[in-house]
Structure 1
Amino acid sequence: MAPGLPIVNFARRTRIYWEINRMMVRGSLRAVAHRFRRSPRVPGWSLAYESIVEMMKLSTPGDSIQSANEIRRPLERLTNVTRPIGVEQKRVNTALFCGEWVSTRASTDERIILYLHGGGYVSGSPATHLAVTARLAHEAQARLFALDYRLAPEHPFPAQLEDAWAAYWWLITEQGYSPEQIIVAGDSAGGGLTMALLLALRDAHVPLPAGGVGFSPWLDLTLSGETLLTNAPTDFLNLTILRTAARMYCDGYDPHHPLISPLYADLEGLPPLLIQVGSAEMLLDDSRRFAERARAAGVDIQLEIWDKMVHVWHFTWLIEPKARQAIRQAGNFIRQRVAAARQEQPILH
């Protein structure tokens, strides 16, 4: 498969639409009751995209959440909808962490992505995010290491950061990759963890990667952004799940801690960053405020606000052109950043 071509088995589109339809039928009674009260149609959304958003809203727990499994199960079911083809996976188990290599025919060893999945720090895995990681690896023409970090509440902060640190150090010291070859990327909570890892590496004077990428990053676990309320009608997230996940992750730590909520950190000295966020998502203000503070600290940051897209819309790339375009642009950023970082390295004599 030539670099740049989409990983799409067009014969599977019918099956995917059928799967979406089947999941919608299962929740049809709830859909009838809630669609017009809780999920007004957004002008510009396709029927397929709106159906995905509605399906995710109906499957996202609300009201009261008694256990982490109530958050985990809906995300695990999402893997039934999009399973990319032409992807090579190789499991890695070390004494300190687990994960898997993800690559496609376009992947090369010139670029390495350390990917930190989302899920509110309490859910998610390399399996749940394979649709996004495989597409990103393809567009970036990179090998991607998807970290299977420990989850709260069984393992609250700072376990996830410790695992991310260990994986980054392993890539450099045991796998032989240079920091200039590596991009750290993540979505949602994984996007917040991406920024926390970069901050921790900077403070420890460890060589920084070529850059960082955040898809709809969760950067403020104090939940102070205005769009948490103003964008609630269009996004599939809700305050109940965000508050529950934040409580499980923080486990007594102040949510203002800069490695929990990077929005409140001193951002000076971070490598170039790309953040993609949707204008219709509840966490929009996290990215806008973070980008403003990063620029004031002298960080080279690109903030892309994608019109009418919801939280981590990248998952919908099989049906939504904006999702394909967003991942393509992230892939371009990764290729350009690694090339630039290599050129910036001094030549040793």
Structure 2
Amino acid sequence: MNARALFTVLACLFAVAAWADEQAGVRPDGTVTAASVAIPYSQFASPQARAFFPRMLAAGAQSPPLSAPIEQSRRFYDRLNSDRAARMRKLYPVTVRHETIAGVGADVVLPEQGVSAANRHRVLVNLHGGAFLWGAGSGGLVEAIPVASLGRIEVITLDYRQGPEHTFPAASEDVEAVYRKLLQTHRPSEIGIYGCSAGGILTGEAVARFIADKVPVPGAIGTFCGSLVTIAGDSAYVGPLLNGQGVPAEPLDLATLPYFHGIDTSDPRVQPGLSPELLKHFPPTLLITGTRDMAMSSVVHSQTLLTEAGVEAELHVWEGMWHSFFSDPELPESRQAYRTIVAFFERHLAPPQEEAHP
């Protein structure tokens, strides 16, 4: 090798080293950079989750972008969720009937083996996920079927108004209308509300609305893969990276969703976690997420805020699990999540009242 060639090689090596130094390090503002990463799937997740993870990512890669025509997205997710619901009904037998409650479409899901004596006067309200854009019908059934069957409890899943046709607070108004109707036949302490992703966020927003309107809060709530503050923090960047999507230039924020267009998302009615005084009035809350969930940081932070406000807040984080992981029923982690949800509401909803005797 002549001197010129040697110089060229050394120059290239120095250039690569300098590029790597630029890519890997910590900036003064705390931003961490890396030239390249290779992150193995968690050894603590189940073998079933390890096998399912690549298939889940492949299916997710086919989903339309948020900018796609809304009917295209709704068709895609309805096919996805209809398949999930069919698989669930084989594992968790239920009956389903469609109703309109207080002007809001709803599916009433009942365990095929019948509601248990302990749950005779209890009811759960499910608020489906779907970015406040899709998820009505089949998406709600995915979240309601296993809980109704395993818990032997009535679950009502609501087709609340969504964007882009509607904006905040339309969905909160629908939830309050149905909740007020249920209060005609149930004590507040006999009612639980839960939701995943957008439904978890809506659950917090609905409770904030009840408090503002001086309506008694339900006996307990669940906010899963979405909670009382916007999607931010470490997981908003790391979650997409761990799911093969790379680090986003900007994480998904409530303000980017059509449902919140033109809305001040710093309003505590949108993000109840921004008001410590409001949180003091929240009921016991179950929070669920996974280490590969883009919303994990917001869920973890919401639990901290609730605890600081004096509210009983129970947090469960599943290793290696992604956003809305329990929508697929075959995973051991999904079954664990269903049992956790059922047990939480069994503990926190009011027990049956003593029957009056003549």
Q: 1:171 aligns with which of 182, 193, 200?
A: 182
Matches of 1:170 and 1:274 in 2, distance apart?
A: 24
Q: 2:237 aligns with which of 229, 232, 244?
A: 229
| TM superposition shift of 1:133 | 0.7
Residue 259, structure 1, aligned to residue 298, structure 2? no
Matches of 1:267 and 1:97 in 2, distance apart?
A: 27
| TM superposition shift of 1:170 | 1.1
Distance 1:280 1:294, change over 3 A: same
Secondary structure of 1:288 counterpart:
helix
Report the equivalent of 1:192. Answer: 201
Matches of 1:128 and 1:235 in 2, distance apart?
A: 22
Matches of 1:123 and 1:236 in 2, distance apart?
A: 24
Matches of 1:236 and 1:130 in 2, distance apart?
A: 28
Query: AA paired with 1:97?
Result: V
Write the mapping of 1:1-349 to structure 2, written as runs, cut at 5 A.
41-43=41-43, 44=45, 46=47, 47-62=50-65, 65-82=67-84, 83=86, 84-85=88-89, 86-94=93-101, 96-104=103-111, 105-108=113-116, 109-173=120-184, 176-221=185-230, 223-235=231-243, 242-243=252-253, 246-265=256-275, 266-317=278-329, 319-339=330-350
Secondary structure of 2:298 counterpart:
helix
| TM superposition shift of 1:97 | 1.2
Mapped contact 1:65–1:244 kept (Cα < 8 A) = no
Query: AA paired with 1:87?
Result: V
Identity %: 25
Q: Deviations over 1:44-100 (max 9, x none)?
A: 4545421442134213334x7243334323321212432133221111124621111
Q: Deviations over 1:218-276 (max 9, x none)?
A: 5434x432211112122488968945884301120112222222332331111101011
Mapped contact 2:115–2:154 kept (Cα < 8 A) = yes
Matches of 2:282 and 2:302 in 1, distance apart?
A: 12
Q: Aligned pair count?
A: 304
Using the size of structure 2 for normalisation, the TM-score is 0.77
Matches of 1:207 and 1:57 in 2, distance apart?
A: 39
Q: Deviations over 1:9-65 (max 9, x none)?
A: xxxxxxxxxxxxxxxxxxxxxxxxxxxx99964444545421442134213334x72
Mapped contact 1:42–1:234 kept (Cα < 8 A) = no
Using the size of structure 1 for normalisation, the TM-score is 0.79
| TM superposition shift of 1:150 | 1.0
Distance 1:218 1:76, change over 3 A: farther
Mapped contact 1:279–1:310 kept (Cα < 8 A) = yes
Secondary structure of 2:76 counterpart:
helix
Using CA pairs under 8 Å that are at least 6 residues apart, name the structure with larger relative contact order, 1 or 2: 1
* Unmatched tracts of structure 1, length 5 or more: 1-36
Matches of 2:254 and 2:284 in 1, distance apart?
A: 32
Secondary structure of 2:336 counterpart:
helix
Secondary structure of 1:154 counterpart:
coil
Mapped contact 1:112–1:182 kept (Cα < 8 A) = yes
Matches of 2:343 and 2:187 in 1, distance apart?
A: 20
Matches of 1:290 and 1:80 in 2, distance apart?
A: 31
Distance 1:39 1:93, change over 3 A: farther
Report the equivalent of 1:34. Answer: none
Secondary structure of 1:231 counterpart:
helix
* Unmatched tracts of structure 2, length 5 or more: 1-36
Mapped contact 1:102–1:134 kept (Cα < 8 A) = yes
Asked which structure has the greater CA Rg, the reply is 2
Secondary structure of 2:132 counterpart:
coil
Q: Deviations over 1:151-196 (max 9, x none)?
A: 10101111000001111111112xx122111001111110111111
Matches of 1:300 and 1:95 in 2, distance apart?
A: 31
Matches of 1:77 and 1:100 in 2, distance apart?
A: 18
Matches of 1:42 and 1:53 in 2, distance apart?
A: 15
Matches of 1:132 and 1:126 in 2, distance apart?
A: 10
Mapped contact 2:124–2:193 kept (Cα < 8 A) = yes
Distance 1:50 1:247, change over 3 A: closer
